[in-house]
């Protein structure tokens, strides 16, 4: 049975696909499509039908996704794509998923891992949990996989929100008091500048387009153009740069990114 690739039109849609060997994958999804990537996810599986349906479901939920079909391709993709999360099959044609995880960890990569495999023996599960963060056996529910991805990301991201406070480098944003500090110095922002900074801090190190920023920072009925984003990024950048090195970087023809300068970010 072929895996459908069209987006569901009903409020609740049911996607079913049969992977090679008769394994069934199912997903129940609903709601609107997210317009901005919440995180980068690398999906690794040598069965194209599984990779396609998992990647499509993650993209539908707002994730930026890259796919790989072998262990060596996964290692190369992890180095170039720099994912926030990896969904990793254990049975791969060259290096198995456990070996991929060992090499990533040996290289200092601490990206959260979810193993996806037909192997359900206790020793396999223990190996997976020892090397990664979660373990799901086939057949599986895509809804469950997505929920587990979100749960592990919330648990593992150091810069995510906790008790209404966002932190990145020496920058602190308190959503409860609407206060912003950099290096202990309070920075006074307008309401729009505050919303813009909050969105950037909720998506650190990700390149966000003007359209994404406009959609998340301004009201849905805002009828202005994307030039307003450039204007407010300039205002915000000017205020932040008074007390430290630049944190908001322009990615030409793409958008903006909150990250440390290359000299302080390991050359990244």
User: Which residue, 41, 138, 44, is CA-closest to 89?
Assistant: 44
Please give the pLDDT value at position 94. 92
Six token digits for residue 228: 């307003």
pLDDT, mean of residues 10-15: 28
Over the stretch 231-246, which tens digit does the pLDDT of each residue have?
A: 999 999 999 999 899 9
CATH code assigned to 165-264? 1.10.10.10
Angle 127-158-174 from CA coordinates, rounded to 5°:
155
Six token digits for residue 29: 């999804």
For residue 91, the 8-state DSSP code is -
Burial classification of residue 163, based on how many CB atoms lie within 10 Å of its CB (0-12 exposed, 13-18 middle, 19 or more buried): exposed
Do 173 and 198 touch, CB atoms closer than 8 A?
yes
Partner residues linked to 40 by β-bridges: 64
Q: Which CATH superfamily is domain 12-156 in?
A: Response regulator (3.40.50.2300)
Do 117 and 23 touch, CB atoms closer than 8 A?
no
Classify 83 as helix, strand or coil. Answer: coil
On average, the pLDDT of the chain sits at 77
Better pLDDT: 119 or 80: 80
Backbone angles phi, psi at 124, to 5 degrees: -70, -40
What are the residue boundaries of the structural domains of the chain, listed by start? 12-156, 165-264
This prediction's pTM: 0.50
Please give the pLDDT value at position 33. 36
Residue 95 has pLDDT above 80, yes or no: yes
Please give the pLDDT value at position 267. 43
Six token digits for residue 68: 């790989």
The pairing of beta strand 140-141 with beta strand 24-30? parallel
Do 249 and 240 touch, CB atoms closer than 8 A?
no
CA distances 74 to 44, 66, 91, 115, 161, Å, are 6, 10, 13, 13, 29
Residue 9 has pLDDT above 90, yes or no: no
The pairing of beta strand 165-168 with beta strand 171-174? antiparallel
Separation CA 196–CA 207 (nearest Å): 14
């Amino acid at each position: 049975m072929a895996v459908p690739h069209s987006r569901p039109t009903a409020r609740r849609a049911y996607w079913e696909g049969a992977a090679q060997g008769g394994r069934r994958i199912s997903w129940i999804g609903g709601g609107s499509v997210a317009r901005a990537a919440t995180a980068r996810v690398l999906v690794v599986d040598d069965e194209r039908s599984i990779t396609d349906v998992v990647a499509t479901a993650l993209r539908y939920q707002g994730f930026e996704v890259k796919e790989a079909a072998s262990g060596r391709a996964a290692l190369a993709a992890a180095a170039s794509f720099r994912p926030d999360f990896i969904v990793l099959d254990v049975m791969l044609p060259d290096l198995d998923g456990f070996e991929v995880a060992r090499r990533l960890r040996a290289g200092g990569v601490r990206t959260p891992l979810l193993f996806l495999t037909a192997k359900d023996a206790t020793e396999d599960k223990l190996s997976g949990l020892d090397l990664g963060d979660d373990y799901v056996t086939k057949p599986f529910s895509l809804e469950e996989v997505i929920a587990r991805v979100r749960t592990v990301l919330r648990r593992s991201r150091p810069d995510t929100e906790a008790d209404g406070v966002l932190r990145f480098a020496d920058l602190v944003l308190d959503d409860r008091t609407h206060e912003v500090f950099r290096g202990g110095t309070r920075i006074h922002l307008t309401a729009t500048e505050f919303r813009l900074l909050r969105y950037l801090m909720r998506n650190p190190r990700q390149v966000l387009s003007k359209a994404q920023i406009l959609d998340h920072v301004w009201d849905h009925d805002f009828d202005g153009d994307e030039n307003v984003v450039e204007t407010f990024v300039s205002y915000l950048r000017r205020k932040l740069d008074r007390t430290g090195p630049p944190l908001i970087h322009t990615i030409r023809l793409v958008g903006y990114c909150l990250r440390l300068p290359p000299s302080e970010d390991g050359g990244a």
